[in-house]
């Protein structure tokens, strides 16, 4: 069985940068431990925007420039980057909440083998849930889980609401 860990948007701007929070900072040690102990292949998504962010649909609804490609805020958190160093992982840039490319990459990596997919990262109620649902839609018979201790939402209440949404969609919350 092929095992995949999806590390969602563990970038500086979401942890202690433009959109950072105490909750996001608090999950970093658990995420580092999960990455270090995970026995399988890892994909790390990178929220990726450009200088025209404020002119985009997202920028109009969330007028906080973040994860502008090439900036410090776009880079992975230093502790996360160190945990990934030397691991077999694939970076996946995405310009919106969920990556439509991610399921294709996972499928190519799995081949014909059965899979297990686990997600961690930020933000539970935006990018984690979006990617989890895209993966579940593409792989309805695959066991997919999200580790709640390695995720944080925009608020604690939204984190819990997103976990409940994922449970409703038959994604295991561990």
Domain locations in the chain as residue ranges: 2-111
Confidence check: pLDDT of 35 > 90: yes
pLDDT computed for residue 97 by the predictor:
97
* DSSP assignment string, 116-149: EEEEEEE-IIIIIHHHHHHHHHH-TTSEEEEEEE
Q: Which CATH architecture has domain 2-111?
A: 3-Layer(aba) Sandwich (3.40)
pLDDT tens digit string along 41-86?
Answer: 999 999 999 999 999 999 999 999 999 999 999 999 999 999 999 8
pLDDT digits over 122-154, tens only?
999 999 999 999 999 999 999 999 999 999 999
Which among 49, 42, 38 is positioned nearest to 7, based on CA atoms?
A: 42
Closest to 9 measured CA to CA, from 1, 17, 115, 87: 17
């Amino acid at each position: 069985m092929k095992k995949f860990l999806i590390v969602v948007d563990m970038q500086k701007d979401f942890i202690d940068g433009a959109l950072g929070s105490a909750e996001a900072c608090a999950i970093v040690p658990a995420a580092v431990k999960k990455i270090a102990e995970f026995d399988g292949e890892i994909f790390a998504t990178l929220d990726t925007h450009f200088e025209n962010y404020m002119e985009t649909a997202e920028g109009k609804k969330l007028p906080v420039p973040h994860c502008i490609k090439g900036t410090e805020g776009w880079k992975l958190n230093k502790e996360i980057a160190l945990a990934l160093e030397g691991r077999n992982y694939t970076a996946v840039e995405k310009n919106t909440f969920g990556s439509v490319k991610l399921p294709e990459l996972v499928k190519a990596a799995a081949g014909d083998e059965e899979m297990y997919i686990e997600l961690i990262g930020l933000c539970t109620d935006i990018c984690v849930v979006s990617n989890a649902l895209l993966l579940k839609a593409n792989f309805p018979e695959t066991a997919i889980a999200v580790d709640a201790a390695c995720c944080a939402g925009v608020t604690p209440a939204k984190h819990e609401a997103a976990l409940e949404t994922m449970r409703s969609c038959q994604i295991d919350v561990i």
